[in-house]
Copies of this chain bind each other. A is one copy, B any other.
Amino acid sequence: MGRTQARGRSGRRRGAPDTRGEILAAARAEFGERGYDGATMRGIARAAAVDPALVHHYFGTKEKLFLAAMEIPFDPVIISERIADTTSTMGIGERAIRTFLGVWGDPVGRAPILAMLRSAMRHEAAATLLRQFITRVVLGRVLVAFESMPDGALRAEAMVSHLVGLAIVRYVVKLEPIASVSDEELIALVAPVLQRYFDGGLPPSPG
């Protein structure tokens, strides 16, 4: 066999196919599924039914493609503001888990974060990226709700860490029954627990 699906003739294809977009979509999927190192240029090219060199033609290097794939697909600002929105009648626990499920429920929104998460498992650099992402984009907004209380940062991070764990157990490891349970059921279970990080009593002073 040749090296790609669309093999044979070289040159421009008929019509006006959004090849660049297809590559980007394939890249998002592959990066999300396998992480930075796990995904390969060739694999992405194959998924996009395109010659590997074309991927380089459009995006230059793998790293640039990765960065391009991490862009756009959801607006983290809106998201984190929804979490911090104090006008809502919901507790911050429920707002957090609802927002979380909203983002992770959509495969398109899930892919880039999954990619960052998977990559952070192996690259110190990616871990740093994820750390900054959490700190600036997520925590930065959540923190305003916690800022007036002692150990605010710690509590906020504990809350976020639970969400991170949920993401992994539910979407990566796919542990049953938690992977298949409905959103509402999960919210009912988790929201009050998360909420406790916000209005729970101060820890019985350690030491």
Contacts and interface: CB of A to CB of B under 8 A. Distances in A.
B190 A158 contact: yes
Interface string A158-194: 1011111111111011110110011011001110110
A130 interface: yes
* Category for how many chain A residues contact B: 35 or more
Q: In the assembly, how many copies of this chain are there?
A: 2
A146 interface: no
Given A130-B173, A154-B178, A161-B165, 9 more contacts: A118-B122, A127-B172, A134-B173, A160-B165, A161-B162, A161-B170, A161-B178, A185-B206, A192-B200
Nearest to A155: B189
Interface stretch (A31-39, A55-63, A102-110): A31-39
A77 interface: no
A118 B152 CA distance: 29
Contacts of A189: 151, 154-155, 158, 197, 203
Max chain B Cβ within 10 angstroms of own Cβ: one of A151, A155, A157: A157
Nearest to A205: B188
Question: For A38, A160, A164, which residue has the most chain B Cβ atoms within 10 angstroms?
Answer: A164
Choose among A118, A161, A201 the residue with the greatest number of B CB atoms under 10 Å from its CB: A161
Interface of A: 34-35, 37-38, 117-118, 120-122, 127, 130-131, 134-135, 151, 153-155, 157-158, 160-170, 172-175, 177-178, 181-182, 184-185, 188-190, 192-193, 196-197, 200-201, 203-204, 206-207
A201 B193 CA distance: 10
A31 to B, nearest CB: 11
A183 to B, nearest CB: 9
Contacts of A168: 161, 164-165, 168
